[in-house]
């Protein structure tokens, strides 16, 4: 199984996807992958999410994970749906321990030094900085990252096409999460994905 570090290095932007209609899942995934964004995070914010994961898994080249996982029950559900990595908005031992034990790549959310220290205690070094902009933005992450030199981050929350390059220029940031790439027609999505994929070219 691949590692969360490998997944984070696959492309500079991980699309954060809220899928309301499962019929749109595969066309969205195909457009994103065609544009160069292979890592797809399907958030568990809609009833269609689990079926969307199953549909997106059918797209060649797609690496499909589940986001907004907050309970052990959801972890079981997304694994049954074929999720290849797990993203959570925060970090608790109760959620993290079974995910870590399973070996599936895991990207938990952190916003404070205490969160990061809890993750380190669990053997984790790769985190989602969330919600990035309202937690103090790039300035806050730079301050947080300084004492945790071994950690790497995927900032998510409020990041835009305009602000993404600034985040990506900070070495501990391997990628950013963003929803801006996922709107519009498949043609528009592919174009936005292509531009996003080039941010670190």
Query: How far is the C-alpha of 182 from the C-alpha of 75, rounded, in Å?
Result: 24
Active site residues: 41, 128
Query: How far is the C-alpha of 66 from the C-alpha of 53, rounded, in Å?
Result: 7
Candidates 150, 73, 153; CA nearest to 111 is 153
Query: How far is the C-alpha of 86 from the C-alpha of 83, rounded, in Å?
Result: 7
Spell 15-46 as b/e; 16+ CB within 10 A means b: bbbbbeebebbbebbbbbbbbbbbbbbbbbeb
């Amino acid at each position: 199984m691949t590692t969360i570090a490998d997944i984070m290095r696959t492309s500079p932007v991980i699309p954060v996807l809220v899928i309301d209609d499962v019929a749109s899942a595969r066309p969205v995934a195909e457009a994103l992958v065609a544009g160069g964004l292979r890592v797809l995070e399907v958030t568990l914010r809609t009833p269609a999410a689990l079926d969307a994961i199953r549909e997106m898994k059918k797209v060649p080249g797609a690496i499909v994970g589940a986001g907004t996982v907050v309970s052990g029950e959801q972890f079981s559900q997304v694994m049954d749906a074929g999720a290849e990595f797990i993203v959570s908005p925060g970090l608790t031992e109760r959620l993290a321990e079974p995910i870590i034990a399973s070996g599936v790549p895991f990207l938990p959310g952190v916003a404070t030094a205490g969160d990061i220290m809890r993750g380190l205690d669990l053997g984790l070094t790769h985190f989602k900085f969330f919600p990035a902009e309202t937690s103090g933005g790039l300035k806050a992450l730079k301050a947080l990252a300084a004492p945790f030199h071994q950690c790497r981050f995927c900032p998510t929350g409020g990041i835009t096409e305009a602000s993404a390059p600034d985040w990506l220029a900070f070495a501990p940031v391997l990628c950013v999460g963003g929803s801006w790439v996922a709107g519009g027609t498949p043609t528009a999505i592919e174009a936005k994905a292509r531009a996003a994929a080039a941010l670190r070219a």
